[in-house]
Structure 1
Protein backbone atom coordinates (compact mmCIF):
# COMPACT_ATOMS: atom_id res chain seq x y z
CA UNK A 1 0.00 0.00 0.00
CA UNK A 2 1.40 3.38 -0.97
CA UNK A 3 1.90 6.19 1.53
CA UNK A 4 -0.70 8.99 1.53
CA UNK A 5 1.94 11.33 3.02
CA UNK A 6 4.26 10.68 0.08
CA UNK A 7 1.37 11.11 -2.38
CA UNK A 8 0.52 14.48 -0.84
CA UNK A 9 4.18 15.57 -0.99
CA UNK A 10 4.44 14.59 -4.65
CA UNK A 11 1.24 16.39 -5.63
CA UNK A 12 2.39 19.52 -3.83
CA UNK A 13 5.82 19.23 -5.43
CA UNK A 14 4.27 18.92 -8.88
CA UNK A 15 2.66 22.32 -8.38
CA UNK A 16 5.62 24.10 -6.78
CA UNK A 17 8.57 22.61 -8.66
CA UNK A 18 9.82 22.51 -12.26
CA UNK A 19 8.56 21.97 -14.89
CA UNK A 20 5.22 23.52 -13.80
CA UNK A 21 7.01 26.20 -11.78
CA UNK A 22 8.48 27.74 -14.93
CA UNK A 23 5.84 26.61 -17.46
CA UNK A 24 2.87 28.18 -15.69
CA UNK A 25 4.10 31.80 -16.10
CA UNK A 26 4.71 31.13 -19.80
CA UNK A 27 1.24 29.64 -20.32
CA UNK A 28 -0.43 32.37 -18.29
CA UNK A 29 1.53 35.05 -20.13
CA UNK A 30 0.48 33.63 -23.51
CA UNK A 31 -3.16 33.71 -22.40
CA UNK A 32 -3.02 37.29 -21.09
CA UNK A 33 -0.79 38.92 -23.69
CA UNK A 34 -3.63 39.88 -26.05
CA UNK A 35 -5.76 41.59 -23.42
CA UNK A 36 -3.10 42.80 -20.96
CA UNK A 37 -0.07 43.06 -23.19
CA UNK A 38 2.42 44.35 -20.63
CA UNK A 39 1.50 41.83 -17.95
CA UNK A 40 1.49 39.02 -20.50
CA UNK A 41 4.94 39.93 -21.78
CA UNK A 42 6.33 40.20 -18.25
CA UNK A 43 5.04 36.74 -17.41
CA UNK A 44 6.43 35.29 -20.64
CA UNK A 45 9.83 36.84 -20.00
CA UNK A 46 9.81 35.68 -16.37
CA UNK A 47 8.98 32.11 -17.40
CA UNK A 48 11.70 32.01 -20.04
CA UNK A 49 14.37 33.46 -17.71
CA UNK A 50 13.34 31.07 -14.91
CA UNK A 51 13.54 28.12 -17.30
CA UNK A 52 17.05 29.14 -18.28
CA UNK A 53 18.21 29.66 -14.68
CA UNK A 54 16.83 26.28 -13.59
CA UNK A 55 18.72 24.49 -16.38
CA UNK A 56 22.31 25.64 -15.82
CA UNK A 57 25.00 24.11 -13.58
CA UNK A 58 25.74 27.39 -11.81
CA UNK A 59 22.23 27.53 -10.36
CA UNK A 60 22.56 23.97 -9.08
CA UNK A 61 25.84 24.93 -7.41
CA UNK A 62 24.20 27.95 -5.76
CA UNK A 63 21.22 25.89 -4.57
CA UNK A 64 23.49 23.20 -3.10
CA UNK A 65 25.91 25.56 -1.35
CA UNK A 66 24.29 25.69 2.10
CA UNK A 67 22.82 22.18 1.90
CA UNK A 68 26.10 20.34 1.29
CA UNK A 69 27.49 21.26 4.70
CA UNK A 70 29.35 18.06 5.55
CA UNK A 71 32.85 17.25 4.25
CA UNK A 72 33.83 13.98 2.62
CA UNK A 73 34.93 11.53 5.29
CA UNK A 74 38.11 9.49 5.50
CA UNK A 75 37.97 5.71 5.75
CA UNK A 76 39.89 5.99 9.02
CA UNK A 77 36.99 7.98 10.50
CA UNK A 78 34.84 4.85 10.33
CA UNK A 79 36.81 3.20 13.12
CA UNK A 80 34.83 5.31 15.56
CA UNK A 81 31.41 4.05 14.41
CA UNK A 82 29.54 0.80 15.05
CA UNK A 83 27.63 0.52 11.77
CA UNK A 84 27.00 2.09 8.37
CA UNK A 85 23.45 3.16 7.48
CA UNK A 86 22.50 3.64 3.82
CA UNK A 87 19.33 5.61 3.06
CA UNK A 88 17.01 4.67 0.22
CA UNK A 89 16.38 7.08 -2.64
CA UNK A 90 13.86 5.25 -4.81
CA UNK A 91 13.56 2.13 -6.93
CA UNK A 92 12.63 1.46 -10.55
CA UNK A 93 10.99 -1.40 -12.46
CA UNK A 94 13.80 -3.23 -14.24
CA UNK A 95 12.55 -5.83 -16.70
CA UNK A 96 16.13 -6.55 -17.74
CA UNK A 97 16.80 -7.87 -14.23
CA UNK A 98 13.45 -9.58 -13.81
CA UNK A 99 12.22 -7.32 -11.01
CA UNK A 100 13.03 -4.03 -9.32
CA UNK A 101 16.40 -2.28 -9.23
CA UNK A 102 17.73 0.66 -7.21
CA UNK A 103 16.90 4.10 -8.61
CA UNK A 104 19.73 6.44 -9.52
CA UNK A 105 19.89 8.14 -6.10
CA UNK A 106 19.77 4.81 -4.28
CA UNK A 107 22.45 3.38 -6.55
CA UNK A 108 25.05 6.05 -5.78
CA UNK A 109 24.35 5.67 -2.05
CA UNK A 110 24.65 1.88 -2.22
CA UNK A 111 27.91 2.05 -4.12
CA UNK A 112 29.46 4.38 -1.57
CA UNK A 113 28.05 2.42 1.34
CA UNK A 114 29.57 -0.76 -0.08
CA UNK A 115 32.89 1.02 -0.58
CA UNK A 116 32.93 2.15 3.05
CA UNK A 117 31.89 -1.26 4.33
CA UNK A 118 34.52 -3.05 2.28
CA UNK A 119 37.26 -0.74 3.52
CA UNK A 120 36.21 -0.71 7.17
CA UNK A 121 34.61 -4.08 7.86
CA UNK A 122 31.66 -2.35 9.56
CA UNK A 123 28.18 -3.93 9.36
CA UNK A 124 25.56 -2.28 7.16
CA UNK A 125 21.90 -1.35 7.61
CA UNK A 126 19.83 -0.43 4.55
CA UNK A 127 16.58 1.44 5.09
CA UNK A 128 13.61 2.13 2.84
CA UNK A 129 9.96 1.13 2.69
CA UNK A 130 7.35 1.18 -0.09
CA UNK A 131 6.21 4.81 -0.41
CA UNK A 132 4.57 4.16 -3.79
CA UNK A 133 3.66 0.52 -3.13
CA UNK A 134 5.15 -2.80 -4.18
CA UNK A 135 8.45 -4.26 -3.03
CA UNK A 136 10.23 -2.30 -0.33
CA UNK A 137 13.26 -0.24 -1.26
CA UNK A 138 15.12 -1.85 1.64
CA UNK A 139 14.67 -5.29 0.09
CA UNK A 140 15.79 -4.02 -3.33
CA UNK A 141 18.85 -2.41 -1.74
CA UNK A 142 19.76 -5.55 0.18
CA UNK A 143 19.61 -7.68 -2.97
CA UNK A 144 21.70 -5.22 -4.98
CA UNK A 145 24.32 -4.85 -2.27
CA UNK A 146 24.61 -8.62 -1.94
CA UNK A 147 24.55 -9.51 -5.65
CA UNK A 148 26.46 -6.54 -7.09
CA UNK A 149 28.91 -5.67 -4.31
CA UNK A 150 29.27 -8.93 -2.39
CA UNK A 151 28.15 -7.41 0.92
CA UNK A 152 25.22 -8.79 2.88
CA UNK A 153 23.56 -6.11 5.04
CA UNK A 154 23.15 -7.16 8.65
CA UNK A 155 19.89 -5.24 8.99
CA UNK A 156 17.15 -4.47 6.45
CA UNK A 157 14.59 -1.86 7.51
CA UNK A 158 11.59 -1.94 5.17
CA UNK A 159 8.72 -0.11 6.93
CA UNK A 160 9.73 3.53 6.49
CA UNK A 161 8.20 5.83 3.87
CA UNK A 162 9.94 9.11 4.76
CA UNK A 163 13.40 10.18 5.92
CA UNK A 164 12.01 10.78 9.41
CA UNK A 165 10.68 7.21 9.50
CA UNK A 166 14.05 5.96 8.17
CA UNK A 167 15.56 7.38 11.35
CA UNK A 168 12.86 6.18 13.73
CA UNK A 169 12.65 2.57 12.53
CA UNK A 170 16.40 2.18 11.91
CA UNK A 171 17.20 3.47 15.39
CA UNK A 172 14.96 0.82 16.93
CA UNK A 173 16.84 -1.97 15.13
CA UNK A 174 20.27 -0.50 15.81
CA UNK A 175 19.72 0.16 19.50
CA UNK A 176 18.40 -3.38 19.98
CA UNK A 177 21.76 -4.57 18.63
CA UNK A 178 23.74 -2.22 20.89
CA UNK A 179 24.66 0.22 18.10
CA UNK A 180 24.95 3.86 19.13
CA UNK A 181 27.39 5.38 16.60
CA UNK A 182 26.71 5.28 12.87
CA UNK A 183 28.03 6.56 9.58
CA UNK A 184 25.05 7.85 7.58
CA UNK A 185 25.29 7.57 3.78
CA UNK A 186 23.32 9.75 1.36
CA UNK A 187 23.80 12.70 -0.97
CA UNK A 188 25.23 15.75 0.77
CA UNK A 189 22.08 17.80 0.18
CA UNK A 190 19.94 15.08 1.81
CA UNK A 191 22.15 14.66 4.88
CA UNK A 192 21.44 18.25 5.95
CA UNK A 193 17.92 17.05 6.77
CA UNK A 194 18.60 13.39 7.58
CA UNK A 195 21.39 13.79 10.16
CA UNK A 196 19.26 15.73 12.71
CA UNK A 197 16.50 13.11 12.41
CA UNK A 198 18.91 10.33 13.39
CA UNK A 199 20.46 12.41 16.16
CA UNK A 200 16.99 13.00 17.59
CA UNK A 201 16.75 9.22 18.00
CA UNK A 202 19.77 9.26 20.32
CA UNK A 203 22.37 8.11 17.81
CA UNK A 204 25.80 9.64 17.26
CA UNK A 205 26.06 10.36 13.54
CA UNK A 206 29.08 10.66 11.25
CA UNK A 207 27.74 12.15 7.98
CA UNK A 208 29.09 10.30 4.94
CA UNK A 209 28.09 12.39 1.89
CA UNK A 210 28.34 11.11 -1.66
CA UNK A 211 27.49 12.42 -5.15
CA UNK A 212 28.20 16.03 -4.29
CA UNK A 213 27.04 18.64 -6.83
CA UNK A 214 30.12 19.12 -9.00
CA UNK A 215 30.67 19.77 -12.73
CA UNK A 216 33.54 19.42 -15.16
CA UNK A 217 34.62 22.72 -16.67
CA UNK A 218 34.26 26.22 -15.30
CA UNK A 219 33.47 29.76 -16.43
CA UNK A 220 31.16 29.83 -19.44
CA UNK A 221 30.49 26.07 -19.21
CA UNK A 222 28.59 26.60 -15.96
CA UNK A 223 26.07 28.80 -17.79
CA UNK A 224 25.26 26.44 -20.65
CA UNK A 225 21.91 24.64 -20.12
CA UNK A 226 22.16 20.90 -19.48
CA UNK A 227 19.55 18.26 -18.72
CA UNK A 228 21.56 17.01 -15.75
CA UNK A 229 21.68 20.47 -14.21
CA UNK A 230 17.93 20.86 -14.72
CA UNK A 231 17.29 17.59 -12.85
CA UNK A 232 19.62 18.61 -10.02
CA UNK A 233 17.96 22.04 -9.69
CA UNK A 234 14.60 20.32 -9.30
CA UNK A 235 15.99 17.91 -6.71
CA UNK A 236 17.56 20.72 -4.69
CA UNK A 237 14.38 22.79 -4.78
CA UNK A 238 12.42 19.73 -3.69
CA UNK A 239 14.78 19.25 -0.76
CA UNK A 240 14.28 22.85 0.29
CA UNK A 241 10.51 22.35 0.21
CA UNK A 242 10.90 19.26 2.39
CA UNK A 243 12.97 21.21 4.90
CA UNK A 244 10.33 23.94 4.96
CA UNK A 245 7.63 21.32 5.57
CA UNK A 246 9.41 20.02 8.66
CA UNK A 247 9.99 23.54 9.96
CA UNK A 248 6.26 24.22 9.72
CA UNK A 249 5.43 20.78 11.10
CA UNK A 250 8.30 19.85 13.45
CA UNK A 251 9.41 16.22 13.52
CA UNK A 252 8.46 14.40 16.66
Structure 2
Protein backbone atom coordinates (compact mmCIF):
# COMPACT_ATOMS: atom_id res chain seq x y z
CA UNK A 1 0.00 0.00 0.00
CA UNK A 2 2.89 2.37 0.67
CA UNK A 3 3.79 2.42 -3.02
CA UNK A 4 0.34 3.83 -3.85
CA UNK A 5 0.12 6.24 -0.91
CA UNK A 6 0.39 9.86 -2.00
CA UNK A 7 3.43 11.59 -0.39
CA UNK A 8 1.36 14.77 -0.06
CA UNK A 9 -1.32 12.92 1.89
CA UNK A 10 1.27 11.30 4.14
CA UNK A 11 2.91 14.67 4.82
CA UNK A 12 -0.44 16.31 5.63
CA UNK A 13 -1.34 13.49 7.99
CA UNK A 14 2.03 13.62 9.76
CA UNK A 15 1.96 17.40 10.20
CA UNK A 16 -1.70 17.43 11.15
CA UNK A 17 -1.17 14.83 13.87
CA UNK A 18 0.89 17.37 15.81
CA UNK A 19 -2.20 19.53 16.36
CA UNK A 20 -4.74 16.84 17.24
CA UNK A 21 -5.36 14.40 20.10
CA UNK A 22 -3.73 12.40 21.48
CA UNK A 23 -0.37 13.67 20.18
CA UNK A 24 -0.89 17.34 21.05
CA UNK A 25 -1.42 16.44 24.70
CA UNK A 26 1.59 14.11 24.72
CA UNK A 27 3.83 16.79 23.20
CA UNK A 28 2.71 19.27 25.85
CA UNK A 29 3.44 16.63 28.50
CA UNK A 30 6.95 16.10 27.14
CA UNK A 31 7.52 19.86 27.14
CA UNK A 32 6.45 19.99 30.78
CA UNK A 33 8.86 17.19 31.73
CA UNK A 34 11.66 18.96 29.86
CA UNK A 35 11.08 22.32 31.58
CA UNK A 36 10.45 20.90 35.03
CA UNK A 37 14.18 20.79 35.81
CA UNK A 38 15.03 24.10 34.14
CA UNK A 39 12.01 26.15 35.27
CA UNK A 40 10.00 24.09 37.78
CA UNK A 41 7.02 26.45 37.93
CA UNK A 42 6.68 26.58 34.13
CA UNK A 43 7.21 22.84 33.91
CA UNK A 44 4.45 22.10 36.41
CA UNK A 45 2.11 24.46 34.60
CA UNK A 46 2.75 22.68 31.31
CA UNK A 47 2.15 19.29 32.94
CA UNK A 48 -1.16 20.47 34.36
CA UNK A 49 -2.17 21.91 30.99
CA UNK A 50 -1.25 18.63 29.28
CA UNK A 51 -3.38 16.60 31.68
CA UNK A 52 -6.32 19.00 31.43
CA UNK A 53 -6.12 19.16 27.62
CA UNK A 54 -5.92 15.36 27.31
CA UNK A 55 -8.94 14.96 29.57
CA UNK A 56 -11.01 17.71 27.95
CA UNK A 57 -10.37 16.43 24.43
CA UNK A 58 -11.88 13.08 25.41
CA UNK A 59 -15.18 14.46 26.75
CA UNK A 60 -18.53 14.44 24.94
CA UNK A 61 -19.00 18.02 26.20
CA UNK A 62 -16.15 19.34 24.06
CA UNK A 63 -17.07 17.05 21.14
CA UNK A 64 -20.58 18.49 21.04
CA UNK A 65 -19.33 22.09 21.35
CA UNK A 66 -16.71 21.86 18.59
CA UNK A 67 -18.85 19.84 16.19
CA UNK A 68 -22.03 21.73 16.98
CA UNK A 69 -20.44 24.97 15.81
CA UNK A 70 -19.64 23.26 12.49
CA UNK A 71 -23.06 21.64 12.06
CA UNK A 72 -24.81 24.81 10.94
CA UNK A 73 -26.67 23.28 7.97
CA UNK A 74 -30.20 22.07 8.65
CA UNK A 75 -31.35 18.74 7.18
CA UNK A 76 -32.44 19.05 3.55
CA UNK A 77 -36.12 18.76 2.65
CA UNK A 78 -37.26 16.59 -0.23
CA UNK A 79 -38.61 19.69 -1.96
CA UNK A 80 -35.13 21.25 -1.86
CA UNK A 81 -33.51 18.07 -3.17
CA UNK A 82 -35.92 17.95 -6.11
CA UNK A 83 -34.73 21.38 -7.28
CA UNK A 84 -31.33 19.86 -8.07
CA UNK A 85 -30.11 17.69 -10.95
CA UNK A 86 -27.98 15.15 -9.09
CA UNK A 87 -27.01 13.87 -5.66
CA UNK A 88 -23.27 13.93 -4.90
CA UNK A 89 -22.02 11.67 -2.10
CA UNK A 90 -18.52 12.30 -0.76
CA UNK A 91 -16.33 9.35 0.20
CA UNK A 92 -15.14 9.21 3.80
CA UNK A 93 -12.79 6.23 3.76
CA UNK A 94 -12.85 2.48 3.19
CA UNK A 95 -11.47 -0.51 5.09
CA UNK A 96 -10.76 -4.21 4.54
CA UNK A 97 -13.54 -6.52 5.73
CA UNK A 98 -12.36 -10.17 5.94
CA UNK A 99 -15.92 -11.35 6.63
CA UNK A 100 -16.94 -10.07 3.17
CA UNK A 101 -13.61 -10.89 1.51
CA UNK A 102 -13.66 -7.34 0.14
CA UNK A 103 -13.24 -3.70 1.08
CA UNK A 104 -16.26 -1.94 2.56
CA UNK A 105 -17.05 1.73 3.25
CA UNK A 106 -15.89 3.15 6.56
CA UNK A 107 -18.50 4.24 9.09
CA UNK A 108 -18.56 7.78 7.72
CA UNK A 109 -18.76 6.63 4.09
CA UNK A 110 -21.53 4.17 4.88
CA UNK A 111 -23.61 6.82 6.67
CA UNK A 112 -23.27 9.12 3.67
CA UNK A 113 -24.02 6.33 1.20
CA UNK A 114 -27.14 5.25 3.08
CA UNK A 115 -28.49 8.79 3.16
CA UNK A 116 -27.64 9.31 -0.50
CA UNK A 117 -29.52 6.13 -1.41
CA UNK A 118 -32.49 7.28 0.68
CA UNK A 119 -32.60 10.64 -1.12
CA UNK A 120 -32.14 9.02 -4.55
CA UNK A 121 -35.07 6.69 -4.01
CA UNK A 122 -37.28 9.49 -2.72
CA UNK A 123 -36.39 11.96 -5.48
CA UNK A 124 -35.50 9.79 -8.48
CA UNK A 125 -32.27 11.77 -8.98
CA UNK A 126 -29.03 10.17 -10.22
CA UNK A 127 -26.09 9.63 -7.87
CA UNK A 128 -22.48 10.72 -8.24
CA UNK A 129 -20.01 9.03 -5.89
CA UNK A 130 -16.65 10.71 -5.41
CA UNK A 131 -13.55 9.54 -3.56
CA UNK A 132 -10.13 8.26 -4.56
CA UNK A 133 -7.54 6.29 -2.61
CA UNK A 134 -5.54 8.83 -0.57
CA UNK A 135 -4.26 6.06 1.70
CA UNK A 136 -3.62 3.62 -1.13
CA UNK A 137 -5.62 0.56 -2.15
CA UNK A 138 -9.06 0.57 -3.72
CA UNK A 139 -10.75 3.89 -4.40
CA UNK A 140 -13.51 4.90 -1.99
CA UNK A 141 -15.97 5.65 -4.79
CA UNK A 142 -15.48 2.19 -6.31
CA UNK A 143 -16.13 0.52 -2.95
CA UNK A 144 -19.20 2.70 -2.37
CA UNK A 145 -20.56 1.96 -5.86
CA UNK A 146 -20.25 -1.78 -5.27
CA UNK A 147 -22.04 -1.63 -1.91
CA UNK A 148 -24.69 0.72 -3.33
CA UNK A 149 -25.51 -1.84 -6.01
CA UNK A 150 -25.30 -4.93 -3.80
CA UNK A 151 -27.10 -3.64 -0.72
CA UNK A 152 -29.45 -0.98 -2.10
CA UNK A 153 -30.01 -2.12 -5.68
CA UNK A 154 -29.02 1.30 -7.02
CA UNK A 155 -26.43 1.95 -9.73
CA UNK A 156 -24.49 5.19 -9.49
CA UNK A 157 -24.52 7.18 -12.73
CA UNK A 158 -21.06 8.64 -12.09
CA UNK A 159 -18.14 7.16 -10.14
CA UNK A 160 -15.29 9.64 -9.65
CA UNK A 161 -12.34 7.65 -8.26
CA UNK A 162 -9.37 10.04 -8.38
CA UNK A 163 -10.05 12.68 -5.71
CA UNK A 164 -7.71 12.77 -2.69
CA UNK A 165 -9.08 15.89 -0.97
CA UNK A 166 -12.40 17.68 -0.59
CA UNK A 167 -11.21 20.26 -3.12
CA UNK A 168 -10.51 17.40 -5.54
CA UNK A 169 -13.99 15.98 -4.90
CA UNK A 170 -15.48 19.29 -5.95
CA UNK A 171 -13.28 19.98 -8.96
CA UNK A 172 -13.52 16.50 -10.48
CA UNK A 173 -17.24 16.13 -9.75
CA UNK A 174 -17.96 19.50 -11.34
CA UNK A 175 -16.15 18.39 -14.51
CA UNK A 176 -18.32 15.26 -14.76
CA UNK A 177 -21.53 17.15 -14.07
CA UNK A 178 -20.80 19.87 -16.62
CA UNK A 179 -20.84 17.18 -19.30
CA UNK A 180 -24.36 16.25 -18.19
CA UNK A 181 -25.40 19.92 -17.96
CA UNK A 182 -26.00 19.68 -14.20
CA UNK A 183 -25.19 22.89 -12.37
CA UNK A 184 -27.21 22.48 -9.17
CA UNK A 185 -26.61 19.52 -6.84
CA UNK A 186 -27.59 17.99 -3.54
CA UNK A 187 -24.42 17.43 -1.53
CA UNK A 188 -24.24 14.60 1.02
CA UNK A 189 -21.55 14.46 3.68
CA UNK A 190 -21.25 14.55 7.47
CA UNK A 191 -22.74 17.64 9.08
CA UNK A 192 -19.36 18.58 10.60
CA UNK A 193 -17.71 18.32 7.17
CA UNK A 194 -20.36 20.31 5.31
CA UNK A 195 -18.91 23.86 5.79
CA UNK A 196 -15.61 22.94 4.13
CA UNK A 197 -17.37 20.91 1.43
CA UNK A 198 -19.69 23.81 0.59
CA UNK A 199 -16.72 26.15 0.16
CA UNK A 200 -15.08 23.73 -2.27
CA UNK A 201 -18.15 22.87 -4.35
CA UNK A 202 -19.29 26.47 -4.68
CA UNK A 203 -15.77 27.47 -5.69
CA UNK A 204 -16.01 24.80 -8.40
CA UNK A 205 -18.98 26.67 -9.88
CA UNK A 206 -21.85 24.52 -8.58
CA UNK A 207 -25.03 25.61 -6.82
CA UNK A 208 -25.44 23.43 -3.75
CA UNK A 209 -28.27 22.21 -1.55
CA UNK A 210 -26.65 20.91 1.64
CA UNK A 211 -27.89 17.48 2.76
CA UNK A 212 -25.88 16.78 5.92
CA UNK A 213 -25.98 13.53 7.87
CA UNK A 214 -24.26 12.12 10.94
CA UNK A 215 -24.83 14.95 13.40
CA UNK A 216 -22.82 14.67 16.64
CA UNK A 217 -25.29 13.80 19.38
CA UNK A 218 -25.07 12.18 22.82
CA UNK A 219 -27.80 10.77 25.06
CA UNK A 220 -27.73 10.85 28.82
CA UNK A 221 -27.65 13.50 31.53
CA UNK A 222 -25.17 16.38 31.59
CA UNK A 223 -22.87 14.59 34.03
CA UNK A 224 -22.25 11.81 31.52
CA UNK A 225 -21.05 14.40 29.02
CA UNK A 226 -18.01 15.00 31.25
CA UNK A 227 -16.97 11.34 31.30
CA UNK A 228 -14.12 10.75 28.82
CA UNK A 229 -14.52 8.20 26.03
CA UNK A 230 -12.76 7.03 22.89
CA UNK A 231 -15.71 8.06 20.74
CA UNK A 232 -15.59 11.61 22.12
CA UNK A 233 -11.84 11.85 21.45
CA UNK A 234 -12.43 10.77 17.84
CA UNK A 235 -15.15 13.39 17.40
CA UNK A 236 -12.95 16.09 18.95
CA UNK A 237 -10.17 15.03 16.57
CA UNK A 238 -12.42 15.34 13.53
CA UNK A 239 -13.76 18.72 14.66
CA UNK A 240 -10.29 20.16 15.31
CA UNK A 241 -9.21 18.87 11.91
CA UNK A 242 -12.14 20.59 10.24
CA UNK A 243 -11.51 23.90 12.01
CA UNK A 244 -7.87 23.76 10.93
CA UNK A 245 -8.96 22.97 7.37
CA UNK A 246 -11.34 25.93 7.33
CA UNK A 247 -8.56 28.17 8.63
CA UNK A 248 -6.28 26.93 5.85
CA UNK A 249 -8.97 27.62 3.22
CA UNK A 250 -9.49 31.11 4.63
CA UNK A 251 -5.78 31.94 4.65
CA UNK A 252 -5.34 30.54 1.15
CA UNK A 253 -8.17 32.70 -0.19
CA UNK A 254 -6.66 35.78 1.46
CA UNK A 255 -3.24 35.05 -0.03
CA UNK A 256 -4.75 34.37 -3.44
CA UNK A 257 -6.67 37.63 -3.26
CA UNK A 258 -3.54 39.59 -2.33
CA UNK A 259 -1.44 38.06 -5.09
CA UNK A 260 -4.09 38.68 -7.75
Q: Shorter-chain TM-score: what band?
A: over 0.9
What is the SS of the residue equivalent to 1:101?
strand
Q: Within 1, Cα distance between the matches of 2:100 and 2:117? A: 20
Q: After alignment, is 178-187 or 89-98 more displaced? A: 89-98
Structure 1: where are the runs of 5+ without partners? none
- The 2-side partners of 1:10 and 1:242 are apart by 12
Equivalent residue in structure 2 for 1:243, among 221, 226, 246: 246
Question: Aligned pairs, how many?
Answer: 252
1:181 counterpart residue number: 184
Q: Which portions of structure 1, spanning 4 or more consecutive aligned residues, are displaced by more than 3 angstroms?
A: none
CA deviations 1:167-222 (Å, max 9, x no partner) are 00001111101211110000111110111211122211000000011111232121
Question: Corresponding residue for 2:156?
Answer: 153
Matched with 1:53 is 56
Residue 132 of structure 1 corresponds to 135
Cα offset, 1:3, TM superposition: 2.3
Matches within 5 A, 1:21-170: 21-170=24-173
* 2:216 alignment partner in structure 1: 213
Larger CA deviation: 241-250 vs 45-54:
241-250
- Quick one: which of 9, 21, 30 aligns to 1:18? 21
Calculate the TM-score normalised by the size of structure 2: 0.92
Q: Give the Cα separation in 1 of the matches to 2:17 and 2:150.
A: 35
Please, which runs of 5 or more residues in structure 2 have no aligned partner? none
Q: CA RMSD in A?
A: 1.6
Q: In 2, distance between residues paired with 1:32 and 1:77?
A: 57
Whole-angstrom CA distance in 1 between matches of 2:81 and 2:94: 28
Q: What is the CA–CA distance in structure 2 between the aligned matches of 1:35 and 1:169, rounded to whole Å?
A: 54
Deviates more, 1:4-13 or 1:234-243: 4-13
3-state SS of the aligned residue for 1:80? coil
1:116 to partner: Cα distance: 1.0
Calculate the TM-score normalised by the size of structure 1: 0.95
**8 Å Cα contact 2:59-2:226 kept in structure 1:** yes
SS at match of 1:189: coil
